[in-house]
Amino acid sequence: MIFRRSRFAEIVDTQLEMFVHDRRDLIEDVQQRLAAYNRADRAEAEELYGDYVDAVDVAADALAAMRDSYARTLDEPDEYARAFNRAAGRRLPEYARELESR
């Protein structure tokens, strides 16, 4: 079986690299909130998990905005969006489910 890279692979890789660099604050916030949840006692865990989910939503929204902004410039936006979602799921798996739902 031969696998070929999407024709959008290079641009998607570049966009994800930019996201990781430019939106480091969002990624670090998600990591810190997950760490706080993992350290929490039972009484605090539910609220801290909600904070973590909210941070994931914010980061996924930023990823979706990046994807959708570029997709609007294309004749075949769905193919690009699928390539973006696949690559983001590999590189940033914690946001994959939320990104797919947007």
**Stated pTM of the model:** 0.87
**pLDDT for 29-82, tens place per residue?**
999 999 999 999 999 999 999 999 999 999 999 999 999 999 999 998 999 999
d(CA 27, CA 72): 25
Q: Is residue 44 part of a domain?
A: yes
Residue whose token pair is 């590999």: 90
Radius of gyration of the chain (CA): 16
Q: Is residue 14 part of a domain?
A: yes
**Total structural domains in the chain?**
1
d(CA 23, CA 15): 11
**pLDDT for 4-32, tens place per residue?**
677 899 999 999 999 999 999 999 999 99
Q: Is residue 61 part of a domain?
A: yes
Domain that holds residue 34: 9-100
Q: Is residue 51 part of a domain?
A: yes
* The predicted structure's pLDDT at residue 4: 63
Residue whose token pair is 């801290």: 48
Q: Is residue 80 part of a domain?
A: yes
Name the strand (E) or helix (H) holding 66.
helix 42-71
